[in-house]
Amino acid sequence: MSQQSSPTVFSAGLDIMEMYKPKPDRVKEFWTTLQDVWLALYGSSFPTVAAINGHSPAGGCLLSLCCEYRIMCPNYSIGLNETKLGIVAPKWFMSSMLGAIPYREAELALTSGRMFSTDEALKIGLIDEVASDKADAIAKSEKFLSQFAKIHPIARKLTKLNLRHSALEWMQENKELDLNIFISFVGQPIVQKSLEKYLEGLKAKQAK
Ligand SMILES: CCCCCCCCCCC/C=C/C(=O)SCCNC(=O)CCNC(=O)[C@H](O)C(C)(C)COP(=O)(O)OP(=O)(O)OC[C@H]1O[C@@H](n2cnc3c(N)ncnc32)[C@H](O)[C@@H]1OP(=O)(O)O
């Protein structure tokens, strides 16, 4: 469950202003912080559930995909919409999605940057359950977690971490490479132009 200033947003994803005209003194910390959050959450030895009580685009969707189970409240949207911004979901965003939905669904979703409604997300397996509201999402999360009381904790932890091993190992060994790819990608004028247009679209939507 994320605590947001907006009651309708689980997470709006990465701060686009950090990628639009990125400041050289901040960009490294920005991206490595995200890598570290992913490593900690995707690689957590604890069972994890995302109770998604609001919209969850891109980085928001990624946070929920780090968890083993996703419960979402009705009438929100979720997805890796990077291509809609003219950017590309990094390899580890994609592998996180592939841990939840079949390759074919992921390919269609990622290439189109599709955002799914709660019901659509349930249908393709991007989320596991729908909750009627925040309290129900918490109750359902507790129910999911309680099943592990009967499972040996070491057996559960080793099973989870073995399943996630190759993605985690790739990141541990390639943090620097991944950072350099990010910096050179967002530095391209064509990418900056796309982000500018996307931000203008957000402002225009808000002005209506
Ligand atoms: C070859 C391989 C190379 C790979 C290299 C890597 C490439 C880079 C990878 C980067 C991965 C990026 C991940 C991301 O997370 S990108 C961010 C994606 N997020 C979005 O698209 C969300 C956009 N926002 C919305 O859809 C809506 O705002 C939202 C549904 C979240 C809320 O709607 P609501 O109506 O409640 O609010 P407003 O739209 O009016 O927005 C309010 C203000 O907030 C600003 N805003 C919203 N989201 C963001 C954001 N993510 N970053 C910055 N600012 C954001 C919006 O502009 C409004 O601002 P103002 O009040 O100032 O006008």
Ligand 1 centroid distance, CA of 176 (Å): 25
Query: Cα–Cα distance between 38 and 46 in angstroms, integer?
Result: 14
pLDDT band at 207 (very low <50, low <70, confident <90, very high): confident
Say yes or no to pLDDT of 162 above 90: yes
Phi then psi for residue 88, to 5 deg, are -125, 130
Q: What is the ipTM of this complex?
A: 0.96
Query: Cα–Cα distance between 2 and 6 in angstroms, integer?
Result: 11
- Nearest atom in ligand 1 to the alpha carbon of residue 85 is 21
Mean pLDDT computed over every residue of the chain: 96
Query: Cα–Cα distance between 25 and 185 in angstroms, integer?
Result: 17
Catalytic residue annotation: 14, 59, 81-82
Say yes or no to pLDDT of 188 above 80: yes
Ligand 1 centroid distance, CA of 5 (Å): 14
Say yes or no to pLDDT of 101 above 80: yes
Tokens of 108: 């269609």
Query: Cα–Cα distance between 146 and 35 in angstroms, integer?
Result: 29
pLDDT band at 3 (very low <50, low <70, confident <90, very high): low
**This prediction's pTM:** 0.96
Pairing of strands 77-79, 116-117: antiparallel
Kindly report, residue by residue over 106-121, the tens digit of the pLDDT. Answer: 999 999 999 999 999 9
